[in-house]
Structure 1
Amino acid sequence: MIRATVSAAALLLLAACNSGEQAPAPGAPTVTVADALCRPTPKGRQTTGCYMTLTASGDDRLVSGESPQAKYVQIHESRMESNMMMMQQMRDGLPLAAGQATSLAPGGNHLMLLGVEEPLATGDTVTLKLTFATAGPVEVTARVAQPAAGEYDHVAAH
């Protein structure tokens, strides 16, 4: 009886120490991130866009993001409707095709930081944690700068 109690207590202790994140299954897709950049925020502005290129080793989906520098991180799409640029949250996430670079870029799909409390100035960095449907989470350090004209035009947005 005592042995069972001690074993149960050990299991509860291990469960309590678990961070709630599970390691990706062996052979699960991985996602690489390149050229991560977030726009600076002028004083008083609490939203900004972040851009990068994602490449998944297998079909996957970017489902969410978070940052200690923003209350919320949302996946957004921009598209032209009736000669007006419209932006909306992609509630189902962003699909990533195996082996294809997917660009998050100005005027297309991007991450939106909402509730930025401290202004982001050129030269700063933003920490992002990206969560995927299958691949393990990816921690990214994005530089804060204005995107150069054409900087993200080399890969089509998906």
Structure 2
Amino acid sequence: MSLKQLTLAALAGMTFAFPALAEGIEVTGAYARAASPSAKAGGVFMTLNNTGAEDDRLVGAASDVAMKVELHTHKKTGDGVMQMVAIEGGIALPAGASHDLARGGDHVMLMGLKRSLVQGDTVTLVLTFEHAGEMTIEVPVDLTR
């Protein structure tokens, strides 16, 4: 690998090492993944930290990599099967609290992928909060997590 490539890789790594911030909301540990190269859907996972003095709420998300983006969670059906469902009304973020968007729980769902999610690539994601407004983050694709 050339010095230029090493330098660019180091800078990219530093970009993802720092949390994204917007009006009291901090996003850490964000990553995206899909089940396979031909998958039509993928998930984005992260920790949302409300460092502000007021409650807030994640009310939406958007990305140019998908036809549709929704906030999802897993819900157990009457027969014990887990099913993914859209979260109505968004995800509450009480002041001073954190909320994990994690596999098997709440997450951002990328539906109708326009391209494959490739290891090491990035996905631009716009998060919309009720009070903090919009926050644009660059999310690394990590298929190993």
- Report TM bin, short chain: 0.7 to 0.9
Q: Which residue does 1:71 correspond to in 2?
A: 67
Residues 103-112 or 43-52, more deviating:
43-52
Q: Identity, % of aligned pairs?
A: 36
Q: Aligned to 1:43, which of 16, 22, 37?
A: 37
Alpha-carbon separation, structure 2, partners of 1:46 and 1:99: 36
Structure 1 residues 84-128: Cα deviation after superposition (integer angstroms, max 9, x where no partner): 112100121111111111000000000000111111111111110
- Structure 1, unaligned stretches of length 5 or more? 1-27, 149-158
- Identify, as 1 or 2, the structure richer in strand: 2
CA drift of 1:41 comes to 5.1
CA drift of 1:136 comes to 2.2
Deviating beyond 2 angstroms after TM superposition, the runs of 4 or more aligned structure 1 residues are 40-44, 79-83
Alpha-carbon separation, structure 1, partners of 2:99 and 2:74: 15
Rg comparison, structure with higher value: 1
Letter in 1 for 2:57: R
What secondary structure is seen at the aligned counterpart in 2 of 1:137? Answer: strand
Q: Which residue does 1:9 correspond to in 2?
A: none
CA drift of 1:29 comes to 4.8
Structure 1 length normalisation: TM-score?
0.71
CA drift of 1:43 comes to 3.3
Structure 2 length normalisation: TM-score?
0.77
Alignment of 1:62-101 (within 5 A): 62-81=58-77, 82-101=79-98
What secondary structure is seen at the aligned counterpart in 1 of 2:66? Answer: coil
CA root-mean-square deviation:
1.7
The answer to whether the 8 A contact 1:78-1:88 is kept is yes
- Structure 2, unaligned stretches of length 5 or more? 1-21
